[in-house]
Structure 1
């Protein structure tokens, strides 16, 4: 594949798209959303909200219209809610159901059904919700909401925006004040957007920890939302352009929320040429256009404190590291073992199959780069993606940066988060 040039725009941010649908479904009146990511995960959220009473449709001008039921107005779904591959849909919707007087059964595909839900079951159980989960606290799972639910103060045992959001969403319909204490900051889209919808939410820094308080029995007001481009999706094109000689690619309207933009700083630290153009704010979220040029990267030691701000981008960072000069060391990444796959083991195996030199540790990878030379690529067996969209896309980029190419076993999971990935990649290489 040739150099990546010209200007592209990647799809809307997945995290913000999920939340725009959910909060619109809880507002009274019509919320309109432009730039919504139309991948399988987000559409699973839309289907579940429809099943609980919200009216959600795509309009003729490409925007999405959501007529909400109001906080406390969710209806009993007639059948199981199929979450597909989406952990975000599952955990956040569990939070919504927890403080409504309804029951819901959550199901998912093989990958999602292996992921732990105990971290959400624990705090929601403290608020009064009841659960019947599969062995190991996994899906299929039936839960019964509590009305009224009990407000709690919950300290997150692990850095997880999904767990934080689930508790805050349960707090929306819970009398009194629900508090989440966050020792390590995670992505804050929930807090930003809830305040935008009119929730009584405050964030206070107490001895270095974020105390997030939400007053329940809220009334959310409908909004008009423009979803910025997803930094996690832009990440694949950023790394592809950095690694491909002759590349000079501009990626428009990328969300640069501090809790999400860690990868850009890491790649700049590695020597990557990434220029932020026209920095601005849209709907309470900072955005910019990114101009990315081919660069000689060098290995670094990644500070584990940065992990929450780029947790989904580590697979593609590993690809960049495999093509850099010197050694890149990562640690503190236990969370990657309970994503759509065990992303540490999966990426170690996939990159090794493509000819990279990788050592897996308990909480990270140590990668000795090629010094800027292409990876050898795979020969024979395709690499295993474990039905994980980010593994598949990361290894597609590794294929671009290889001599013989990289074959992956299944590209279908890419549609869960980035249905136009292959088309955009071909467009960028053709421009």
Structure 2
């Protein structure tokens, strides 16, 4: 990998990948660990926190609202909070950077506190829809002003006491669910959220860990407000979404054998690995165990011949963030992979369906773009033609996906800007280098 200009990178074959590595702490869990620790009375310790820019945005926002958050020399974080209901008025706008999770969850948190906060973000985040959380939060009494199209900048003026509600969600979304549960923490009585389909349950697991009264009854999750959270020692597992890029790299590059240690295997986060196994990937979850209420394992992935599959729409909920790298795996499979039900990918950090269709075509993959999915015709394991330059569109997952494709291509693949990767996996290139160097040793 070389850099011909700042932030522009090229990726080309350098042999197989071998060795054991770690990936950053799970982003979803890291956001919640900071927020819940800041709402607990006392000092919490967090190990394995994600070092990406998105989680840094959450930490900065919680500091601005009164929490003390510090990183120790051992890399662990301590967070001192004063309890639910104790948030202070921020003196300036809360800059969410590129983090949609930070924005939506914190809008929910602020909505039931007697403060007023302005949320801003970068160009990519400012294009993403926020009405999905603004509309139900208005029902509890919060005043929320968004920019045209329900986007950032947005102003949230919380209400105390907020009105306990039963929220029946129209679209399955862990972010919306979590925002409503966070609002319920400082709302008297019981807040209920009814999901149309199950979504990742990191909020429920961690709220229970911190001592909140929360229960699930079928599709309904209920939380009792005016909660008293207790400080905890949280160990954050490796991010399965970050591990996905290395898993696909090992799957498509001949001779590879990679172990990714301490990865979260929450059942609502393993959809990508289930899909890869259905395609014939050699993936094993070794040494399964539990850390801080979350299931964890070491992922061992070896090169294997992949085959195309038809993924049903219901697969989307458990792997929506991993579809860009799934499309790369499909590009190396034998036969055709078909996907539908992915309209949500059009309102992520970029229009990921359009970005992947355009990029795959540019490196020699036959691909068809539909309204809510892609059809990808694979190479049967042969290297892609490669060449050309990919526009990452300010999207970390697009950038990393095409970087992986370059590891098994006839001509190097250039990525116009790898800087968005800082939001989730700052050591991405260094981690790849370490696996490639071990293979060459």
Give the drift of 1:401: 2.0
List 4+ stretches of structure 1 deviating above 3 A: none
Superposed, 1:8-157 pairs within 5 Å as: 8-157=21-170
- Is this contact kept in 2: 1:2–1:430, CA < 8 A? no
Instruction: Determine which of 396, 413, 420 is the counterpart of 1:413.
Output: 420
Output the aligned Cα RMSD. Answer: 0.7
Number of residue equivalences: 425
Structure 1 residue ranges without an equivalent (≥5): none
Q: What is the aligned partner in structure 2 of residue 335 from structure 1?
A: 344
Unaligned runs of 5+ in 2: 1-13
Cα distance between partner residues in 2 of 1:389 and 1:223 = 31
Is 1:359 aligned to 2:368, yes or no?
Answer: yes
- Pair 1:389-2:396 in alignment: yes
Corresponding residue to 2:411 among 404, 409, 426: 404
1:236 has 2:245 as partner: yes
Task: Name the SS for the 2:82 alignment partner.
Answer: coil
1:311-330 per-residue CA deviation (whole Å, 9 max, x = no partner) reads 10000000000110000000
In structure 2, the partner of 1:217 is 226
Cα distance between partner residues in 2 of 1:2 and 1:151 = 58
Q: Does 1:373 align with 2:382?
A: yes
Distance, in Å, in 1 between the alignment partners of 2:155 and 2:327 is 37
Using the size of structure 2 for normalisation, the TM-score is: 0.96
Q: For residues 187-266 of structure 1, what are the structure 2 equivalents within 5 Å?
A: 187-205=200-218, 210-266=219-275
Which one has a larger percent strand, Structure 1 or Structure 2?
Answer: 2
Structure with higher RCO (Cα < 8 A, 6+ apart): 2
Q: Secondary structure of 2:177's partner? A: helix
Q: Give distance in 2, aligned partners of 1:195 and 1:277.
A: 27
Q: Could you tell me which residue of structure 1 aligns to residue 431 of structure 2?
A: 424
Aligned partner of 2:184 in structure 1 is 171
**Cα drift, residue 305 of structure 1:** 1.1
- Structure 1 length normalisation: TM-score? 0.98
2:331 to 322, 333, 357: 322
1:159 aligns with 2:172: yes
Q: Give the deviation of 1:176 after TM superposition.
A: 0.7
